[in-house]
């Protein structure tokens, strides 16, 4: 799973133990995804999950969208916080291309009793988001983007249409393991170049206020003005 760059294993353990215990379904999701091997690096860490929950609480989010669901940890963390605040009115829409990984996610959502509050859309997220902008423009509270990095700019523009004023857009992996400061990687790797371009764009984008954080592999936050 993701881990904050530069933190020793001891500090990681300390941070995780200092947070409140995970919901049992979250703990099972994390443990079983860890056992999947190298692909498990796509899963966010429990401290990132706690961070997403706090973000949802700070803006009293009731409706969220996630681009890149994987095995469902971040979606579950978010919907649990929203359900705690808003009960059955809480809703999360997840976008992913994999039936395989999201099939695992469904089992954790079932365990937590939130399956009826999560709408999973399988297919190209650009098309899914385009459809959502026709019906939900300006109504979404929070969007978490953790998918193909070359798509981040397109997802951002769609997210700006979807979120309300004061709504929050979050991008994961914006440090990309440190490659974003490696000139060779920027010139050779499309993902790295896309992440650098996104950070540069948001830094001067007057439509949002931003904070670039180093939690996990970097989370870039954009609050719609």
- Residue 3 pLDDT > 80, yes or no? no
In a domain? residue 48:
yes
Q: How far apart are CA 170 and CA 65, in angstroms?
A: 11
- Residue 4 pLDDT: 83
Average pLDDT in the 182-207 region?
A: 98
- Residue 138 pLDDT > 80, yes or no? yes
In a domain? residue 1:
no
- Residue 6 pLDDT > 90, yes or no? no
In a domain? residue 44:
yes
Range of 174's domain? Answer: 9-224
The CATH number of the domain holding residue 58 is 3.40.50.150
Q: How far apart are CA 118 and CA 90, in angstroms?
A: 9
Domain count for the chain, please give it.
Answer: 1
In a domain? residue 4:
no
Q: How far apart are CA 26 and CA 29, in angstroms?
A: 5
In a domain? residue 68:
yes
- Residue 5 pLDDT: 83
- Residue 59 pLDDT > 80, yes or no? yes
In a domain? residue 40:
yes
Q: How far apart are CA 5 and CA 174, in angstroms?
A: 12
* Banded pLDDT at 107 (limits 50, 70, 90): very high
- Residue 1 pLDDT: 64
Q: Residues 161, 162, 167, CA angle at the centre, nearest 5°?
A: 105
- Residue 7 pLDDT > 80, yes or no? yes
- Residue 88 pLDDT > 80, yes or no? yes
Tokens at residue 171, please? 């991008």
β partners of residue 193 = none
- Residue 129 pLDDT: 97
In a domain? residue 2:
no
- Residue 148 pLDDT: 97
158 to 3, 41, 43, 154, 155: CA distances (angstroms): 28, 26, 24, 6, 5
- Residue 177 pLDDT > 90, yes or no? yes
Report percent pLDDT > 90 for the chain: 96
- Residue 147 pLDDT > 80, yes or no? yes
* Residues 160-170 pLDDT 10s: 999 999 999 99
Mean pLDDT of the chain: 96
In a domain? residue 41:
yes
- Residue 202 pLDDT > 90, yes or no? yes
- Residue 2 pLDDT > 80, yes or no? no
- Residue 95 pLDDT > 70, yes or no? yes
Average pLDDT in the 95-123 region?
A: 97
């Amino acid at each position: 799973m993701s881990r904050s760059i530069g933190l020793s294993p001891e500090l990681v353990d300390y941070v995780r133990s200092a947070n409140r215990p995970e919901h049992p379904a979250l703990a099972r999701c994390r443990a079983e995804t860890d056992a999947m091997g190298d692909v498990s690096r796509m899963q966010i860490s429990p401290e990132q999950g706690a961070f997403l929950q706090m973000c949802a609480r700070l803006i009293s989010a009731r409706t969220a969208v996630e681009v890149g669901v994987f095995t469902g940890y971040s979606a579950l963390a978010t919907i649990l916080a929203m359900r705690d605040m808003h009960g059955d009115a809480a809703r999360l829409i997840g976008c992913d291309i994999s039936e395989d990984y999201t099939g695992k996610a469904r089992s954790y959502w079932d365990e937590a009793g939130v399956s009826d509050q999560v709408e999973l859309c399988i297919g190209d997220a650009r098309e899914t988001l385009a459809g959502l902008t026709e019906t939900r423009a300006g109504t979404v509270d929070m969007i978490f983007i953790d998918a193909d990095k070359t798509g981040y700019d397109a997802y951002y523009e769609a997210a700006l249409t979807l979120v309300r004023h004061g709504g929050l857009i979050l991008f994961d992996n914006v440090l990309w393991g440190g490659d974003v400061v490696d000139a060779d990687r920027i010139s050779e790797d499309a993902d790295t170049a896309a992440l650098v371009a996104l950070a540069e764009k948001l830094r001067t984008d007057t439509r949002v206020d931003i904070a670039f954080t180093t939690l996990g592999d970097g989370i870039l936050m954009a609050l719609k003005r």
